[in-house]
Amino acid sequence: MSEQIRQVGPKDYLIGEDQIVIRTVLHSDVPPSEIPKATVNILLGAEPYFTFVADINGKRIRGNNYNYAEVFDDFDNIVDMLSKRAKALRIVKSSATAEGLANEMIEDIISLFVLTRAMLFKAKTRSSGES
Amino acid sequence: MSEEKESKGTLLSEDRLSVKTFADTNHNTTRYFAEIEVNGKRITSEKHASTDLFKDFERTVESLYRKAEILQTLSSPRAADALAEDMINDIAELILLTRALLDKTKSWRLWKQEP
């Protein structure tokens, strides 16, 4: 991806403008930095989980709960779903259905964003636990 | 990442993403690109020919998945940060490609004179 800002030309038409704010939240009974060591809590059922609130073009959505231990599995599932929706988008029969499907795909993509933040958090707390 | 306390849970991050998707009609084939801003950092995407949109979408999804596989094994915070930033660029690219696929689908329906 180019780092350079390209000038928008006279025959460039704006076809979509997405303004998105995503807040990723961790719910845990122990301090975040202690989670990698807190296996007993996790075994007792107090597993930490991630959730999120997103404003997508002024519409607020609240995300699913993603269990700490399963963020990659959830990522995998959403990638599958997104691919299926993209395939469906190519063959839908009406513009309204296409619009609805595209909006669902944007919500899938936001979930991937949140799960990326969750995996980053896990990577960083894992490494701080090792040091 | 900041760790501000909210009423429920701990706020790990607050991200602002802006994706303005354009269709460039200067050529025989429409090409799509986007002005992307992630947390104040602006970049311009590559251009995607309308004929390649689905292939580019699949390629970006596969690339993102491979990076996620790597991210879950990394133990260096700096490497994890860099990889996550790269993944977020892929994610912004997927928003552009979704909007472009939608535009292409709707244009096709218009051409077919959908009632």
Q: How does pLDDT run along chain B (115 residues), one tens digit per residue?
A: 444 444 468 999 999 999 999 999 877 889 999 999 999 999 999 999 999 999 999 999 999 999 999 999 998 999 999 999 999 999 999 999 999 999 998 887 655 555 4
If one compares A4 and A116, the residue with the highest pLDDT of the two is A116
3-state helix, strand, coil in chain A (%, to 5): 55, 25, 25
Q: Given this model, what pLDDT does residue A33 score?
A: 76
% of chain A with per-residue pLDDT over 90: 60
Please tell me the distance from the alpha carbon of residue A85 to that of residue A87, in angstroms, as a whole number: 5
Residues of chain B with C-beta less than 8 angstroms from the C-beta of A32:
3, 10, 12
Over residues A27-53, the mean pLDDT reads 77
Residues of chain B with C-beta less than 8 angstroms from the C-beta of A75:
65, 68
Label residue A7 left, alpha or beta by phi (over 0 means left) and psi (-120 to 50 means alpha).
beta
pLDDT tier at A128 (50, 70, 90 boundaries)? low
Q: What is the mean pLDDT of chain A?
A: 86
- Residues in contact with A114: Cβ distance below 8 Å, sequence separation at least 6, in sequence order: A22, A24, A50, A52, A54, A63, A66
Q: Given this model, what pLDDT does residue A93 score?
A: 81
Three-state secondary-structure class, residue B21: strand
Interface predicted TM-score (ipTM) of this complex, two decimals:
0.89
Please tell me the distance from the alpha carbon of residue A112 to that of residue B60, in angstroms, as a whole number: 13
Mutation target for A interface from B22, B50, B83, B86: give the one with most A CBs within 10 A. B22
Mutation target for B interface from A19, A103, A112: give the one with most B CBs within 10 A. A112
